[in-house]
């Protein structure tokens, strides 16, 4: 250090701390912000190093050369700061090649002017050597572009400081410490630069900004070591929160205080068929399903029935207010929870409980009672037939219960779609084999479209019920199907006594009571199966006698099946 001016010695301390911080930052790549923090620190070291060269140069020409070289460090510092702040705080989507290129326009123009020798006096109008007690440096008269690039530097510094300042009040102590250190490291040179431009520095013409880099280096070193600046960055946390919202299975909307949609996740767009780009900025009442009903107090709100891309489903809705740091409301989050599967499971449990508690017990009591008669008279044909029929009914209930359990097992893999014409023919053949005395016919041509595999179980249950509960001799069953506008209507008609109105009402209501319940599992399996694929069931009387049950389900084509074989929504 022999022969160096006091100012040069002070500047070399800033070079040492800045270089140390730059090395630590570079070693943390590819952590969020590591590269751009390195760029910022390299810019500071570059500027400071060549300022030392300027101070120690003996002539005006030499000092002017090193002064011009310093501009490379000067112009990359604000760009590095802003891009670091964006990436470090989780706003990396803004750090794109296009943004980097746009931010670099003013710095590149500056470097081109400097490299050309500034013949127009845009940056420096005049230069002279100033000898002071702290060293000999170049004093310059600045041109108009100098103030443009200075203002640009302050602007980028301000924009970069905003996301960092937001962390000062963060709940996590490490982030508060990091942000405080970063603000100190940035504020020191920026304040020094302002003092220089306003002429507040005691030594006229001296820019103390590089001296403040010593403070910046210490602050950045403290942030990197004590507060684990890059190894414990907030970027993943911000991104994780975005991912949680975006990939939330339940549809969610963010509504502002004025009632306009601010955001919605992909599930909301897919479930309710909403174009996100169009929806944002629109009134919530025009975008959010049943929004007027959502405003009702949650304690008074029952599940809302809403038609989505996969049919009609019941949804429970939760509304959570969003507040700022002062507790002032800034909006709300509306989340739709599809409770169709939950309600369906609860409904199935209730029905199966009734079957085992009532139907099976009734048949078991009959078997027990008539077993006593058979013990007294083994030749009693009536008692023997009753026992056989009751045992057959229990076996049938057991088989239907197994079918229902397998059909609605949430862990079971969905079956691929099947051809409707083949399905109808298989069901008709199976019915003829099981009930050889019944008249089974397929009316008209069945369209060769693909339908959900669950329709096979639904059709088998309908046909079996049509024969088992038919008192005609012989019983007759007619099957027909038609396709239109992406949907299939499969109808099963019979000439039996019909379905009681009370039983139809139970199916429509979806719940049973001790006094109002179905006669078995057959029609429940039909309802559950069609509900599972977003379909519907309708009943009408047949003339002169009987019932026509029509099941409507969506057509499934190859595009509706994913590579795993799972079926997607019909409409």
Q: Which of 550, 501, 553 is nearest to 529 (CA)?
A: 553
Q: What residue segments make up the domains of the chain, in order of their start?
A: 6-236, 247-338, 339-412, 414-571
* CB environment 221-258: b (16+ within 10 A), e (fewer): bbbbeebebbeebbbeebeeeeeebeeeebbbbbbbee
Cα–Cα distance list, 36 to 23, 97, 110, 210, 420 (Å): 12, 13, 20, 19, 61
User: What is the second-level CATH architecture of the domain 414-571?
Assistant: 2-Layer Sandwich (3.30)
pLDDT at 134: 67
Indicate the SS3 state at residue 555: coil
- Alpha-carbon span 454 to 415, nearest angstrom: 8
Q: Which helix (H) or strand (E) holds 236?
A: helix 235-246
**Cβ(238)–Cβ(226) under 8 Å?**
no
Q: Report pLDDT for 409.
A: 61
Helix, strand counts (H, E) of the chain: 20, 14
How much is the pLDDT for 562? 43
Pick the CATH number of 6-236 from 1.20.1730.10, 2.130.10.10, 1.20.1070.10, 1.25.40.10: 1.20.1070.10
Q: Which CATH class is domain 339-412?
A: mainly alpha
**pLDDT of res. 564:** 41
Report the alpha-carbon distance of residue 171 to residue 501 in Å, rounded: 62
Nearest CA to 85 among 47, 32, 44?
Answer: 32
The backbone torsions φ and ψ at residue 476, rounded to the nearest 5 degrees and listed phi first, read -125, 145
Tell me which CATH code domain 247-338 carries. 3.30.450.20
Series of mean pLDDT values for 10-residue runs along the chain (571 residues): 69 86 86 87 91 86 90 92 87 88 94 91 86 74 90 89 75 67 77 72 69 77 72 67 78 87 88 86 87 66 68 80 76 84 65 65 78 79 78 71 63 76 90 88 86 86 84 89 88 86 64 48 77 83 88 73 41 35
The candidate with the shortest Cα–Cα distance to 249, out of 267, 231, 233, is 267
- How many residues would you count in the chain? 571
The order of strands in the sheet holding 547-554 is: 439-442, 476-484, 487-494, 547-554, 536-541
Same fold: 6-236 with 414-571 = no
Q: What is the pLDDT of residue 106?
A: 94
CA-nearest of 199, 194, 224, 223 to 209 is 194
What is the 3-class SS of 440-470, one letter each residue?
EEECCCCCCCEECCHHHHHHHHHHHHHHHCC
């Amino acid at each position: 250090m022999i022969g160096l001016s006091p100012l040069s010695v002070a500047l070399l301390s800033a070079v040492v701390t800045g270089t140390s911080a730059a090395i630590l930052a570079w070693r943390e790549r590819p952590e969020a912000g590591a590269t751009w923090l390195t760029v910022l620190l390299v810019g500071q070291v570059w500027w400071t190093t060549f300022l030392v060269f300027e101070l120690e140069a003996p002539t005006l020409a030499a000092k002017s050369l090193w002064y011009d070289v310093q501009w490379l460090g000067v112009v990359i510092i604000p760009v590095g700061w802003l891009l670091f702040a964006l990436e470090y705080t989780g706003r990396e989507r803004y750090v794109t090649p296009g943004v980097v290129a746009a931010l670099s326009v003013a710095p590149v123009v500056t470097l081109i002017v400097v490299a050309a020798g500034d013949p127009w006096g845009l940056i420096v109008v005049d230069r002279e050597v100033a000898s002071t007690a702290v060293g000999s440096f170049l004093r310059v008269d600045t041109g108009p572009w100098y103030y443009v690039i200075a203002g640009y530097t302050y602007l980028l510094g301000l924009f970069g400081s905003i996301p960092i300042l937001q962390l000062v009040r963060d709940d996590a102590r490490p982030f508060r410490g990091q942000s405080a250190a970063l603000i100190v490291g940035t504020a020191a040179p920026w304040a020094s630069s302002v003092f220089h431009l306003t002429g507040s520095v005691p030594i006229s013409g001296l820019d103390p900004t590089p001296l403040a880099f010593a403070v910046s280096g210490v602050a950045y070193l403290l942030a990197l070591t004590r507060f684990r600046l890059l190894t414990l960055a907030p970027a993943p946390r911000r991104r994780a929160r975005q991912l949680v919202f975006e990939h939330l299975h339940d549809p969610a909307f963010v509504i502002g205080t004025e009632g306009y949609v601010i955001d919605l996740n992909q599930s909301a767009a897919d479930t309710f068929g909403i174009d996100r780009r169009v929806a944002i900025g629109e009134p919530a009442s025009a975008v959010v399903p049943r929004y007027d009903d959502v405003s009702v107090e949650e304690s008074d709100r029952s599940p809302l029935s809403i038609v989505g891309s996969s049919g009609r489903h019941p949804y429970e809705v939760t509304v959570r207010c969003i507040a700022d740091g002062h507790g002032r409301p800034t909006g709300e989050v509306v989340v739709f929870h599809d409770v169709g599967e939950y309600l369906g499971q609860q409904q199935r449990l209730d029905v199966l409980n009734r079957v085992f508690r009532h139907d099976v017990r009734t048949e078991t009591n009959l078997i027990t009672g008539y077993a006593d008669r058979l013990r007294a008279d083994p030749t009693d044909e009536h008692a023997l037939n009753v026992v056989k029929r009751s045992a057959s009914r229990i076996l049938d209930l057991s088989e239907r219960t197994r079918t229902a359990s397998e059909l609605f097992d949430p862990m079971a893999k969905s079956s691929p779609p099947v051809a409707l014409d083949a399905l109808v023919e298989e069901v008709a053949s199976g019915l003829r084999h099981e009930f050889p005395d019944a008249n089974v016919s397929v009316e008209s041509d069945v369209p060769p479209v693909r339908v959900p595999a669950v329709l096979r179980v639904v059709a088998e249950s309908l046909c079996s019920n049509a024969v088992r509960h038919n008192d005609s001799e012989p019983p007759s069953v007619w099957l027909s199907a038609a396709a239109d506008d992406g949907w299939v209507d499969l109808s099963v008609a019979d000439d039996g006594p019909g379905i009681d109105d009370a039983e139809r009402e139970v199916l429509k209501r979806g719940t049973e009571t001790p006094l109002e319940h179905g006669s078995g599992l057959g029609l429940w399996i039909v309802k559950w199966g069609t509900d599972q694929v977003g379909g519907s069931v309708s009943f009408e009387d047949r003339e002169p006698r009987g019932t026509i049950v029509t099941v409507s389900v969506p057509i499934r084509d190859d595009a509706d099946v994913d590579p795993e074989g799972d079926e997607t929504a019909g409409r």
